[in-house]
Chains A and B, each alone.
Chain A
Amino acid sequence: MDITLLLTSTVTLASGIPLTLLLTAASLLAGLVLAVPLAFMRASSRKWLSLPVLAYTYGFRGTPLLVQLFIIYYGLGQIGIIRSSVLWVLLRDPFWCCLLAFSLNSAAYTTEIFRGGIQAVATGLVEAAQAVGMSPLQIKRRIIFPIAFRSVLPSYANEVISLVKATSLASTVTLLEITGLSRKLVSETFAPYEIFIAAGVLYLGLTFLLTGFFHALEGRLNAAPRAKTPLGRVALQQVAHEQ
């Protein structure tokens, strides 16, 4: 193995990190925005609300992301009506096609993750909230969502990490993120071993940072309430007393 090549290619591939991160962050954000309302619809006991969402998550979770990306990128491009519509301004660009595919896919998984969390919230808590006169929307915002979010955080972190790696599929539609750059480098050097190891190391680094972030977030959200203010006040009082 050529260590020099490994190091130089790591540096070259690092220039693909911004695009990988941009794709991940943007799809995550779009996925999250879509998933929260969809998850409430999916958890609803009303069939006309939950069934369409079920069909959506079923479709997107049941087919490979690569196939979804190809349908959006190559498939939609074949349809004349779409090519002459306003949509084509975005769909013409490989970046937006990837973003669309990744967001829809991520939203489907996130919806199901959140649905599980929402249904796991104890009924007693919801009843208590109703008893103090909160509106349904208030209950969702103040009680159900925060509790559900905490309980699904580990699964959601999994989804985020999957998405980081899934962005490598963007290389199949000419985008030069980490994997796209590595394929380009391999074709220039004919040394797939060193270069794909370098790419793997970069993904591992990104995943390491994300795991750390979610671990910290979990610790913060799930820790027993520290009751900062009362304790602080007590401490101050004590100090005052000693003086």
Chain B
Amino acid sequence: MRRHLTCAVTAFLFVAGLAHAEERTAITIASEGASPPWDYIDENGALVGFDIDVGNELCARMKLQCTFVAQDWDGIIPSLLVKKYDAIIAGMSITEKRKKSISFSVPYAVAPNQIVMRRALDLPPSDIEAKLNLTDIDATKKETIEKLRQSLTGKTLGVLRSSNSEAVVQELFGDIAEVRSYDSQENLKLDLTSERIDGGLGDYLQWKQFLGTPEGKAVKFFGPQLSGGTWGPGVGVGLRKEDADLVGNFDKAIEAAVKDGALAKISQKWFGQDISPQLAK
């Protein structure tokens, strides 16, 4: 009996190995499903959003059959590494730290981040149209940050756990404000509405959508749009390092979709503005 089992297992491994060597025909893609309009679960329980449309567009170009699954943010990279799925398309920024564990495609979107604060706090007015790139911080940038620090001293700020916003908030304001990390952006917004926290840092576009809802009326943008630094060059598709073929295919598909405007169109549909990246030179 045991011998049969061993034979069967060996045969299975062999077949599985063969299948792997062949061309891929289908892949599974993970998204978070809790960050509208990037990706979220609609009232029918289906995963929808910018990321899903981008994924389907890229898969069509790569001639791959794609299945989407929802995965909580703080387990999204570990699950990719243990092969629960083959790719992450979840508004994930390409960062040096993540690159130590996984590979990224070229960016498929470039989106800023911003702080929001409750209106009731009566914070001093700030220029919310200004842009602050956190790469290479010079004296002027330092001054802007110092001003932000003064306004945020003693406040409670919410961020998504294991996001870049968490890292940035810890680095810039960790010593003067209380930082609370949430398992999803949705829960963060709930606590913002119920005034448990005073503000938060996160992706600009999903704040923009939130500020348009009745619950979002009580908060407003605060301080400049933030980018660069920890956030890196943009939002990319996360892939396993050993799947170099997939990285190459995604890169080609993204470049083609940027060139013919397909990504710009999807971006307009979900965000009302074009956040597709400038073509890589």
Using a CB–CB distance below 8 Å, which chain A residues touch chain B?
74, 77-78, 83, 92, 94, 172, 174, 183-184, 186-188, 190-192
Residue B162 at the chain A interface, CB threshold 8 Å: yes
Complexed CA–CA distance, A190 and B100 (Å): 10
Minimum distance in angstroms from A37 CB to a CB of chain B: 33
Given A183-B74, A183-B161, A192-B75, 17 extra CB contacts under 8 A? A74-B187, A74-B190, A77-B190, A77-B193, A83-B194, A172-B183, A174-B180, A174-B181, A183-B183, A184-B181, A186-B75, A186-B162, A187-B162, A190-B78, A190-B81, A190-B101, A192-B78
Residues 73-97 of B at the A interface (beta carbon under 8 Å): 74-75, 77-78, 81
Listed A/B pairs (22) with beta-carbon separation below 8 Å: A77-B190, A77-B191, A77-B193, A78-B190, A78-B193, A83-B195, A92-B195, A92-B196, A94-B196, A174-B180, A174-B181, A174-B182, A183-B161, A186-B74, A186-B75, A186-B78, A187-B161, A187-B162, A190-B78, A190-B81, A190-B101, A192-B78
Using a CB–CB distance below 8 Å, which chain B residues touch chain A?
74-75, 77-78, 81, 101, 161-162, 180-183, 187, 190-191, 193-196
Please indicate the chain B residues that have their CB under 8 angstroms from the CB of A183 in the complex.
Answer: 74, 161, 183
Minimum distance in angstroms from A185 CB to a CB of chain B: 10
Complexed CA–CA distance, A190 and B88 (Å): 14
A77 and B194 contacting across the interface, CB-CB below 8 Å: yes
Complexed CA–CA distance, A191 and B81 (Å): 10
Complexed CA–CA distance, A140 and B25 (Å): 73
Please indicate the chain B residues that have their CB under 8 angstroms from the CB of A187 in the complex.
Answer: 74, 161-162
Complexed CA–CA distance, A240 and B193 (Å): 80
B78, B81, B193, B194 — most chain A CB neighbours (10 Å): B194
Chain A, residue nearest B158 (CB): A174
Mostly helix, strand, loop or mixed at chain A's interface?
Answer: helix
Please indicate the chain B residues that have their CB under 8 angstroms from the CB of A191 in the complex.
Answer: 78
Chain A, residue nearest B162 (CB): A187
Minimum distance in angstroms from B255 CB to a CB of chain A: 28
Please indicate the chain A residues that have their CB under 8 angstroms from the CB of B191 in the complex.
Answer: 74, 77
A190 and B187 contacting across the interface, CB-CB below 8 Å: no
Please indicate the chain B residues that have their CB under 8 angstroms from the CB of A78 in the complex.
Answer: 190, 193-194
Minimum distance in angstroms from B200 CB to a CB of chain A: 12
Complexed CA–CA distance, A78 and B181 (Å): 20
Please indicate the chain B residues that have their CB under 8 angstroms from the CB of A172 in the complex.
Answer: 183
B162, B183, B196 — most chain A CB neighbours (10 Å): B196
Please indicate the chain A residues that have their CB under 8 angstroms from the CB of B162 in the complex.
Answer: 184, 186-188
Please indicate the chain B residues that have their CB under 8 angstroms from the CB of A174 in the complex.
Answer: 180-182
Please indicate the chain A residues that have their CB under 8 angstroms from the CB of B193 in the complex.
Answer: 77-78
Complexed CA–CA distance, A172 and B74 (Å): 12
Please indicate the chain A residues that have their CB under 8 angstroms from the CB of B196 in the complex.
Answer: 77, 92, 94
Minimum distance in angstroms from A72 CB to a CB of chain B: 12
Minimum distance in angstroms from B217 CB to a CB of chain A: 14
Complexed CA–CA distance, A186 and B74 (Å): 8
Minimum distance in angstroms from B260 CB to a CB of chain A: 35
Complexed CA–CA distance, A190 and B99 (Å): 11
Complexed CA–CA distance, A47 and B8 (Å): 65
Complexed CA–CA distance, A190 and B191 (Å): 27
Please indicate the chain A residues that have their CB under 8 angstroms from the CB of B75 in the complex.
Answer: 186, 192
A83, A92, A187, A191 — most chain B CB neighbours (10 Å): A187
Please indicate the chain B residues that have their CB under 8 angstroms from the CB of A190 in the complex.
Answer: 77-78, 81, 101
Minimum distance in angstroms from B71 CB to a CB of chain A: 13
Give the 7 A-B residue pairs with the shortest CB-CB distance, closest first.
A187-B162, A77-B194, A174-B180, A192-B78, A190-B101, A187-B74, A190-B77
Complexed CA–CA distance, A211 and B190 (Å): 39
Set B78, B161, B190: member contacting A184, Cβ < 8 A:
B161
Complexed CA–CA distance, A192 and B84 (Å): 14
Chain A, residue nearest B77 (CB): A190
Complexed CA–CA distance, A186 and B81 (Å): 13
Please indicate the chain B residues that have their CB under 8 angstroms from the CB of A77 in the complex.
Answer: 190-191, 193-194, 196
Complexed CA–CA distance, A78 and B192 (Å): 11
Chain B, residue nearest A180 (CB): B181
Chain A, residue nearest B166 (CB): A187
Please indicate the chain B residues that have their CB under 8 angstroms from the CB of A186 in the complex.
Answer: 74-75, 78, 162
Chain A, residue nearest B167 (CB): A188
Minimum distance in angstroms from B81 CB to a CB of chain A: 7
